[in-house]
Amino acid sequence: MRRLAQLATVAAFAGAVVLAAVHFWPIGQPVKTIALEGDAGRGAYLARISGCIGCHTNSKEGGKPLAGGVAFLTEFGTFYSPNLTMDKAEGMGNWSIEDFDKAVRQGVSPEGQPYYPAFPYAFYANFTDQDIADLWAAFKTVPAVAQPSKENDLSLPFSYRPGLKVWRAAFGSEPEARDPVAGKSDAWNRGRYLVEGATHCGACHTPRNFAGARILARKFEGATGLPEGGKSPAITAEALKAEGWTKDDLAFALKLGMLPSGDVFGSLMGEFVTEATQHMTDEDLAAVATYLMKEE
């Protein structure tokens, strides 16, 4: 009996040590200072096609631009996009460009806490230093809105944010599209940069495992369990070609929300076309289509 009590004490102690270790485990890499001049116009374009504005603007309920509050119902609970305006108390008004860089490319808050992967920072890790400078210049033009960010409504163990550090160690991935591939066309490389980065197609079109991490071996094969119980089709070049899609069809669909059959996107893809891809230049649409269709 006494031995059992001893064991229990040891187990409890070990558990506490692990918890404390996870709690205080520092994450993220140091950020280098970006001395580049940012172009707010280019940054706004990037923010639009990356979904920043779409996901952080509660347009359904008439919310102010980038003030957050959009609900994402998932199997882990409900996520609410936070306030990204320049409000000093509720938004990013007190952030430095280094804070912004670390948040966007590493998924780590200024307080050193990990963001949930509902925020597609793993894709944004492909942004260049110039992209970060441009985005920050654009965000700085966003008028402050003193609207508090809503707490996520998640179930245990997902509600324990430091637990994400373990998740990051287990499932974190390196950015894969930062440098162009030699021997490929400019359009293909631009498409790769957009698809694997800014427009983060894989966030919805790559299936996820039990812990919500993307199964990279099955990239673009389509997924279930998207917000609101949605699902996405496969967008591998093979799948798209088998369905009769051409490069032009794809660019057309991302611009107008319309499928080759005459039907239109609804649901999440309809929203993403409205909020993001319809704003892409024809060159970028062609680039995305080139890369997805595995053309030159």
Partner 1 sequence: MKKKLLVASAATLSIGLALGAFAHSGAMGIVKERMDGMMVMGKSMKSIAMMVKGVKDYDADTIKAAAAAIEKHSGENMTKLFPKGEKKQKVSVAKDEIWTNWEEFEALSMRLQILSQGLAASADKGLSGASDSMMGNSSMMGSGSMMGSGSMMSDSNMPTMEMMAGMSPNMIFPMIAGTCSSCHTKFRTEK
Positions that interact with partner 1 (CB under 8 A):
41, 44-45, 47-49, 53-54, 57, 59, 65-66, 138-139, 141-142, 230-231, 248, 251-252, 255-258, 260-267, 270-271, 273-276, 278-279, 281-282
Backbone angles phi, psi at 223, to 5 degrees: -145, 160
Minimal distance in Å, beta carbon 170 to partner 1?
Answer: 31
Q: Return all residues near 124 (Cβ < 8 A) that are at least 6 apart.
A: 50, 104, 105, 197, 198, 200
Using CB atoms within 10 Å of the CB of residue 125, give its burial: 0 to 12 exposed, 13 to 18 middle, 19+ buried. buried
Q: Return all residues near 184 (Cβ < 8 A) that are at least 6 apart.
A: 192, 296
Minimal distance in Å, beta carbon 128 to partner 1?
Answer: 19
Question: Is 87 or 165 the residue whose CB approaches partner 1 more closely?
Answer: 87
Q: What is the CA angle 114-199-149, rounded to 5? A: 40
Minimal distance in Å, beta carbon 201 to partner 1?
Answer: 17
Question: Is 53 or 164 the residue whose CB approaches partner 1 more closely?
Answer: 53
Cβ atoms within 10 Å, residue 86: 19
Question: Is 68 or 117 the residue whose CB approaches partner 1 more closely?
Answer: 68
Question: Is 162 or 230 the residue whose CB approaches partner 1 more closely?
Answer: 230
Minimal distance in Å, beta carbon 247 to partner 1?
Answer: 11
